[in-house]
Structure 1
Amino acid sequence: MAIPTRILLVSFAALIFFIQCSRAKTVTHDFNVTWVTANPDGLHPRKVVGINGQWPLPVIEVDKGDRLVVNVYNALGDKNTTIHWHGMFQNNTNHMDGPSMVTQCPIVPGASFTYNFTVNQNGTYWYHCHTDACYPDGYRQALIVHDQDAFFNEMYDEEFTLTMSDWYHELVEDITFISVTNPTGAEPVPDSFLVNDTQNSSLAVEPGKTYLLRLVNMGAFVGMYFYIEDHSFQIVEMDGVYTDPTEADLLYISVAQRYSILVTTKNSTAKNYPIVTVVDSSLLDAIQPTLQLNHTNWLEYNTTADHPQALMPASDSSDLTPFDDMTLIPHDRTPLLPDPDIVIEITAIMDNLANGAGYAFFNNISYTRPKVPTLYSVLSSGDLATNPTIYGEYTHPTVLGHNQVVDIVLNNGDTGSHPFHLHGHNFQLLTRFPSYADGFFTYADTDNPVTFNPSNHSSFPAYPPRRDTLVVPPQGYIVIRFIADNPGIWLFHCHIDWHLMQGLAMVLIEAPTQIQQRTTIPEDHWAACSAAGVSGVGNAAGNAEDLLDLSGENRQVAWLPAGFTTRGIVAMVFSCVAAVLGLGVVGVYGMSGNNEECSQVVSRYFQG
């Protein structure tokens, strides 16, 4: 008797699942998070966040299907922490995603917390602190998910991971940023730039072999151009998504983006070749002559041969035109998703608030953290979980229905580019303007910003590329699409950490009813809330009695009064400071008893 096709398919699927489960293992790490001292650029020793007394942090490596368990103890003494597993979808484990006051309470000094989730993905990822801007202080490292079934496994002989990052000589808390003394919101310029948390390093290779290089920009601010002199390569992965092998010789890698590339070495050991990283200098407000923007590491064929510096001029990156990620084709050929059920239209701007400091906004809302983690508000709100009001105005919440097709249309009203990251998903890249070839990095006409026109735009690709972090051009736009098939609380934010500090974020509450049905918070997570003095129930204002009463919610700083300008406020502040100092000087002279000298001082002061 013939076996029905449906039964055969179910049986085959069950067999595949069994095989995957038989391969899986549990990978456990115990992280004692402490301060250590490091000097990776050789210019300035400083405190950094270490793990188990070591820095750089450990690279985490797992196989697809493994369970990853990380037991965290915060021994920093003076700083909260969390870990975000960047690019991990966290299907059914939204409470393991990591952003403080979004899916968990902060891990305060002396508290413990366990992250425990299954990795059903493949590719190149990273992990980093996601509270109080702590990852520029060194709390970040690569997370590699190996895949026995990757289509390119037989195409290479060995693999390396290359991380790139910007580096500051001061702790984040000691850098003046959101302040009336920085009214333009100019981002702090890094003091140096690193590859694999060092400089001037080499990758030892053999001639005539092919290597898989996993590239991760885990910086806090600056995008990097990447190339290898006299070598091209094939892109095979982008942010965890396999792509058709595509030849390129120059990449632009913003903070939080990743690529895997195949590099085939030459058949000679006569020389070594520079691996070049070039800073995207358009992001830097001011560049000191001593700041080195280009860095050379080496593809080392011969330890005794010369290690030459890169030929790239050290002054400017504006002439570089990198490979356009919008042209990649996903290897799985996932087609363009259907027309959206919901379109989220947002405009990113940078502006000043009443304290004279610079902030960042989506549609005039600067993200301000709630008093209760948003996930916990969902779990404690019953039937009101689908009402965005309970999540607070200043978390900029949007509630998504289960399995809705979602478009995010992001217009950039700023003159700088921004890398935007979506937690819990990757997304299809539908369109972007300008393209890399059409002035992406130089278009900043404040009088003529280009916004997306749904009735007049370039056609969307049949098989759109997918990734989880995409750069929007200055004064341009991007359109992305995804399916809300992963119930959870997911941030959408700029991954320049300074801009996240300024509020360039919003929260998506995806399928809240399903979240309630699927989520159980572990006891040690509740204990972390208790240690932090944070409530685990109620709305964004911490109100558990009347969830629609947002009195007392955390609010963004008020807007400037009508008629005031930032320059005027700054001038007023410094005038007041000068006046107080001046009157103090007058007072000192007055008490000295020298009336004639005091009169002269008073006369000079009030004459200007």
Structure 2
Amino acid sequence: MLTLLLCFLCMLVLPSRGMPACEQNVEVCEFTLEAELKLTMMYGKILTYAEDGNLYDYRVTNTSSAEPIPSAEVITGDGYEMPRMVFVFNGQFPGPPIEVWENQMVKVKVVNKLKNDGITIHWHGLHQAGTPFMDGVPFVSQCPILPEQTFIYLFKAYPKGTFWYHSHMGSQRTMGLYGPIIIHERKPIYPGLQEFTWTITDWNHDYDSEMAYYKMVYGIYEGRSKIKGTGSLDGSFFSMFRYHSGLLNGKGRYHNPVTGKHNGAPLSVFNVTGGSSYRVRVIAAGELYPFRVSVDQHLITIIASDGYYLEPVTVESFIINPGERFDFIINATQTVDNYWIRGETLEVGMNHTLEAILHYDGAPVNMDPTSQPANCTMDSMCVVVNCPFTYYPMEDYTKCITFDSLRSLEVQKTPLKSDGMFQEQFLNFAFPGNKWTPGSINGIAYQQPVVSALTQPHEIDTQCTQDDCGEDKVCQCTWALPLHHAQTYQFVFLNMGSGKGWSHPIHMHGHSFYVLKMGYARYNETTAKLIGDNLDIDCRGNPDRTKSFCNNATWTNSSWLHGNVPDVELEKPPRKDTLIVPTGGYAVIRIKADNPGIWTLHCHIQIHNMDGMVMLLNESYSETPKIPNNFPSCRNYHGHHTADEEATSTAPVTTKVTPMLSTTTVKSTDNQMLCREMMGVYTKELFWGVVGCLIGIVALLFFILLVYMGLHRPRYGRGYTLEPVPGRLGFDNKGSDF
């Protein structure tokens, strides 16, 4: 009865909105994330509207005498009054930050409270060494967590730095299922700094991210007019995504494109004290657009990217693409005032900006800044880090620092080439094709398996064939590239051929790779517009380079093959897990295949990812750690056959299985037995066999009970107590806890 009462009381406990940082001396840090649906601009069941940086009850007509609604208790988005559905963790958008210390074990209980959707959680940038089944990719490392189900993730907090978690299911990431995960170093390089975390994203308040994907594929229309896509400064394109606003930590403002006026929605405000320095961790969680991030009248010093320290470089701004992270230090040395924090997309002819406020102690409260961005001149040029091109237009007086120009703060143990232990792979991320032009890698559009590839490899039947795929062909299948244990792999990420035109931030699961070199397209030095591909790469295929799919590329100079590329940085290459591959250009990166598992490699622009720009890395599969007991499985169901039907059938049921991820073959009869075991299809012989076993178990239990009663009969008259005899059928209290 007491147990039942305690269980009932536990059901009444609601999860808290915040999750405190884990203490440094704790071995296992435990958190809970509940995924659920919310509506923007709702205060409970009361609709709100924005004015002058505050929120008010929809029934208020005179805001000067009304009490504002606490904006911290409302998911505002860009303040657009028509509520939009968002997916959230623990009622928050973005989700609550998870803060731990390096090498702690992290245990996260994920509860799916969504009504219709399965989810998984990917821990973006964490290597998951020894725990590849915790990587959180549906139908790769696990099966989806279905509504009302719970899944516990358990992994080591490594490496240290700025990371984030997000759903990896369909389009859920940009619908709100994301949040920061900060892994603090035990011996900080920059001690004593107060920290801020900025999570930024582009935003559409009319439709969700799934609708955004289909709008990209089929076009965006307003009335009977088709909306054209926008272009970048270098002449490349952006996919079709209707930008309404940018959000920083879930808050932004909608600017009416006709009037140019904003709706007065509340913004994120960061308080600083004059004379102090601050560390800012920036996470790009967006759908599509890169942002050029700056703080008016303040220089910023870039110190890290994707969790790894860089030699500091002081700049006016930096460009961040979906999936990337940058850390910088800002010194609050300006006049006490309010200053705009800006994030501008790279679109030409569009004023698409996200906004937040840097507020000095003593400056006016609840007042918009009047500050202006830097004035870039010939004598005082603005410097920008991480450009996806090499030039800004000459009249912009802006200098680019490309990412490969940066250096790691420390000397790196870059994997070196050695005879028999080195391979080079060329991978082209593009949209090639004639009538069908899907997102693809080397012309292969990803087909998602219906089973968990890591834990059910023999059941995958969507693998690629040589007949369907190849040079100047486009196909769809599940492509897994085998990586042999302990070998060094040099990847050349390309963005070339007939399917180029869009830059791609490429994210690799399971590794932080070494960036050795980047090659950019050819540009007009005055206008900064694209002229053509970088000619270091030979696309092969169609002799007309503009028509080649570039599915079988190589180095133009054959002496560069086998790891002999000149001008690569081997001593202090920066490390990344997400890197922009520029239109018409390439990136040379390296890893050592020392992290067994099945890892995803994909473009982190969500609509490109959903369109097929994904592949798998099958790394050292024979060395993969043992899968936890009772790990969930999933598969298609093709119906069942009774024993009589199987005996009389002229076309016996077989399962086509060509293992893609293992060298072991599986016979069709093995698969039939697997289906019977997993799906409960029993023959008569199996039925009576089970019944017989159950009868035997019951008889054995009855016999044990009789023996136990005989051993524990009370002994009266000789001073014996009623204690059990030790060592006989006794059990210790040591359970097992996974």
Return the match for 2:194 from 158, 163, 171.
158
TM-aligned CA deviation for residue 62 of structure 1: 0.8
Can you list the C-alpha shifts for 1:317-364, whole angstroms capped at 9, x where unaligned? Answer: 86454543222222231144312711111222214576x5x4111111
Q: Which residues in structure 2 correspond to 1:58-137 (within 5 Å)?
A: 58-137=96-175
**Distance across 2 between alignment mates of 1:49 and 1:260:** 27
AA partner of residue 244 (structure 2): D
Q: Aligned match of 2:632 in 503, 526, 531? A: 526
Q: Which residue of 2 aligns with 1:277?
A: 343
CA–CA distance in 1 between the matches of 2:203 and 2:535?
Answer: 32
Does the residue aligned with 1:247 lie in a helix, a strand or coil?
strand
Output the CA distance in 2 between the equivalents of 1:438 and 1:107: 50
* 8 A contact 1:102–1:375 mirrored in 2: yes
Report the Cα offset of residue 407 of structure 1: 0.9
Change (3 A) 1:22 1:351: closer
1:57-91, CA deviations, whole angstroms, 9 ceiling, x for partnerless residues?
11111111221111112121111211000000001
Q: For 1:329-478, what aligned pairs fall within 5 Å after superposition?
A: 329-339=407-417, 341-351=422-432, 358-378=437-457, 394-413=477-496, 414-434=500-520, 444-445=530-531, 451=537, 453=556, 455=559, 459-461=567-569, 462-478=571-587
Q: Distance in 2 between matches of 1:406 and 1:23?
A: 38
Q: Larger relative CO (CA 8 A, sep 6+): 1 or 2?
A: 1
Contact 2:93 2:250 in 1 (8 A): no
Kindly tell me: are residues 123 and 296 of structure 1, through their superposed partners in 2, closer, same or farther at Cα, counting changes over 3 Å?
Answer: same
Offset at 1:494?
0.5
Is contact 2:284–2:320 with CA below 8 Å preserved after alignment?
Answer: yes
Aligned residue for 1:174, secondary structure, equals helix
Q: Which runs of 5+ in 2 are unaligned?
A: 1-22, 41-75, 221-227, 230-237, 253-266, 376-391, 468-474, 538-554, 640-655, 672-738
Query: Is 1:225–1:322's contact at 8 Å kept on the other side of the alignment?
Result: no
Report the CA distance between 1:294 and its aligned residue.
5.2
In 2, distance between residues paired with 1:235 and 1:547?
59
Deviations 1:9-64 (A, max 9, x none): xxxxxxxxxxxx99343222222211011231101421111123333311111111
* One-letter amino acid matched to 1:34: E
Distance 1:417 1:203 in 2: 32
Alignment equivalent of 1:311, drawn from 373, 380, 385: 373
- Which residue in 2 is equivalent to 1:16? none
The one-letter code sitting in structure 2 at the alignment partner of 1:210 is S
| Structure 1 CA distance for aligned equivalents of residues 530 and 361 of structure 2 | 43
Q: Answer with 1 or 2: which has the greater Rg.
A: 2
Is contact 2:521-2:534 (8 Å) kept? no
Q: Is the 8 A contact 2:272 2:360 kept in 1?
A: yes
> Structure 1: 5+ residue runs without aligned partners?
1-20, 550-608
Change (3 A) 1:141 1:370: same
Provide TM-score, normalisation by structure 1: 0.75
| Counterpart-to-counterpart distance in 2, 1:419 and 1:197 | 22
Give the Å deviation of 1:540.
6.8
Match of 1:256, as an amino acid?
G
Pick the aligned partner of 1:201 from 241, 252, 268: 268
CA deviation after TM superposition for structure 1 residue 468, in Å: 0.7
Question: 2:110 is paired with a residue of what secondary structure?
Answer: strand
> How do 1:104-253 and structure 2 match up within 5 A?
104-153=142-191, 156-169=192-205, 170-175=207-212, 176-177=214-215, 179-180=217-218, 186-199=239-252, 200-253=267-320
Matched residues in 2 for 1:406 and 1:541: separation? 20
Aligned length: 504
C-alpha change, 1:79 and 1:141, in structure 2 (3 Å) is same
| Counterpart residue type for residue 84 of structure 2 | R
Q: What's the secondary structure of 2:326's corresponding residue?
A: strand
Partner of 1:545: 667
Tell me the amino acid that sits aligned with residue 252 of structure 1: I
Structure 2 vs 1, CA of residues 109 and 544 (structure 1 numbering), >3 Å: closer, same or farther? farther
What is the DSSP-based 3-state SS (H/G/I as helix, E as strand, rest coil) of the residue aligned with 1:281?
coil
Aligned CA distance change for structure 1 residues 177 and 521 (closer, same or farther; 3 Å): farther
| Partner Cα distance (2:101, 2:525) in 1 | 40
Aligned partners of 2:105 and 2:156 also within 8 Å: yes
Q: Which one has the bigger helix percentage?
A: 1
